């Protein structure tokens, strides 16, 4: 019985956490944190996973981080750079 109660507690915590923090929001927070220091953001580009380039690019654009944008365009890992939304 105690095991069921513990499992129910774990499930309810997980469900409530997943409702409040989506992966997209965490990526946005990571991007904002990285962009606080433009030199660090530029240095981190070579280590950044490809999946994080588009959201970080949008965060840099929205925050008007021109030096980071220039470095990102040069390090862009995809075959095209879609700027239609911008």
pLDDT of residue 59: 87
- Specify the pTM: 0.63
Encode the chain (86 residues) as per-residue pLDDT tens digits: 455 554 455 445 554 455 455 666 787 788 888 888 889 889 989 888 888 888 889 889 988 999 999 999 999 998 888 777 66
The DSSP code for 52 is G
Residue 10's pLDDT is: 47
Q: How far apart are CA 65 and CA 61, in angstroms?
A: 6
């Amino acid at each position: 019985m105690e095991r069921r109660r513990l499992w129910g507690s774990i499930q309810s915590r997980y469900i409530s956490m997943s409702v409040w923090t989506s992966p997209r929001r965490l990526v946005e927070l990571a991007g904002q944190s990285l962009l606080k220091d433009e030199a660090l953001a530029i240095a981190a580009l070579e280590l950044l996973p490809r999946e994080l380039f588009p959201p970080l690019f949008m965060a840099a654009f929205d925050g008007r981080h021109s030096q980071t944008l220039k470095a990102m365009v040069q390090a862009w890992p995809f075959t095209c750079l879609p700027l239609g939304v911008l």
